[in-house]
Amino acid sequence: MPRSTFLVTVSGPDRIGVGAELFHALHSLKDNGVHLVDVAQITIRGTLVLCAEVNSESGLTEASLTAVLLERAIEGQGMSVHVEEVTPTDTIEGRRLLVTLLAPQISAGQLEAVFHAVAESDATCERIVHLASYPVDCYELIVIGPDHAILRAKLTIVANECALDLAVQRAGLHRRAKHLVVIDADSTLLQHEVIDLLGEASGQAEEVSRITRAAMSGEIDFGEALRQRVALLAGLPASVLDDVRAQLSLAPGARTLLRTLQRLGYVPAVVSGGFVEILAPLLAGLNIEHFAANRLEIVDGTLTGRLAGEIVDRAGKARALRHFAEVVGVPLEQTVAVGDGANDIDMLSVAGLGIAFNAQAAVQAHADAALSVPYLDAVLYFLGISREEIETG
């Protein structure tokens, strides 16, 4: 007897026990050759849609299967059951991709553009999850298509045109296995550039800021720029470092990001072109064990205008990420890097997921994802962590 495939759809006001009733009814038909193939469910504003795909080799029809379900399971209370015989279609080949969309508010027009890009790539969306509605809007799509390069390129164009932050990642359990998250300090974890604050203390604010801007935009080698700026600090008393630390503020959402990562078993780390003497006490208070930064040379309580030890520059940040991954015991593809400046590019490129945070276009070009919102905890959405999970802790 030929096999028949049915799609069973249960819909109506959500209530306790609906799923149990449906699966009890389907289980009772196992001796009649009815087998469960797939299940999907969504509940929006108290309205449930529960779908089950089943195969039957016993000659069941739509009418007979509907009658059995109504008799043994779900009826009344506004709930309806619809059974439709379907013809299995060829599935789209290719691995699944996770597409994360984020903006202050996502409109139907923006989603229309995204889904046009998906369709133009001969791809289809299997699932949509609303990860957050505040302080930003975030949707995660599971998309499957034959050519991931084309899909990624089309979605990137749409994201730029529609003012959407976008991440495209390979789907799978490996994403929740990214146990190391390495974060840049200045203008990422912190709202400030520490060297600029030191420049103000030395009376060289304008010159230090000029060199900083040139370094962050990639116009000048970071190592050379750092040496030039530190030289302008010569003669400052070491006590100024405490004064500068007292001025520092974390980026909005930074504490939430770190607290959530730590609670869920991720390991946060910090790399910085700034200075150990300022960052170490701050990071200790945030329970961050792994960090790398530059060291200032201090003699007799005074800054000499020189650095001590190896410089943490663009290449140094990438080395630090590799070192942290080795210490924590995770492969590079299970690491995340977050940064905003040109000296973060190597780190963003090395990480399994590189996220440019309010960065210039040149930096975004080297990242897998970009965030333009001011909330650092939005990084969590690119890891598939919902607002509900964040607030659970």
Active site residues: 184, 186
| Neighbour tally for 308: CB within 10 Å | 11
Bridge partner list, 308: 295
- Answer yes or no: are the C-beta atoms of 176 and 261 closer than 8 Å: no
Give ∠ CA 151-156-161 in degrees, rounded to 5: 130
How many alpha carbons lie under 13 Å from residue 71 in its C-beta half-sphere? 8
* Tokens encoding 216: 């962050």
| Neighbour tally for 240: CB within 10 Å | 18
Q: Which residues contact 104 (CB under 8 A, 6 or more apart)?
A: 136, 137, 373
* Tokens encoding 323: 């070192």
Q: Are strands 369-371 and 353-357 parallel, antiparallel or unpaired?
A: parallel
Q: How many residues does the chain have?
A: 393
* Tokens encoding 378: 């939005």
Alpha-helical runs (H) found in 73-107: none
Bridge partner list, 82: 9
